[in-house]
Amino acid sequence: MAKHPVPKKKVSKSRRDIRRAVVSTLTAPTLIKCANCGALVTPHTVCDSCGYYGGKKVLEIRA
């Protein structure tokens, strides 16, 4: 029978989560162009420069 490698000590939940959290910091945020003004915004958020979301004006932007 083949022997499988087994960890000597249990990895704590904290240590495991810290290791997994590093991966999310390495990726750049996803950006899309605003359909109204063409500015780069994160998906599913109101555009900061024009106040549009989903083709409708939802925020009044002060000049």
Give the model confidence (pLDDT) of 8-18 as tens digits: 999 999 999 99
Handedness of CA 59, 50, 33, 36 (dihedral sign): positive
Which position has the higher pLDDT, 21 or 13? Answer: 13
pLDDT of residue 7: 87
Q: pLDDT tens across 26-61, in order?
A: 788 899 999 999 999 999 999 999 999 999 999 998
Helix (H) or strand (E) holding 15: helix 13-26
Every domain of the chain and the residues it spans: 30-63
Mark 39-56 as b/e (b = at least 16 C-beta within 10 Å).
eebeeeebbeebbbbeee
pLDDT reported for residue 43:
96
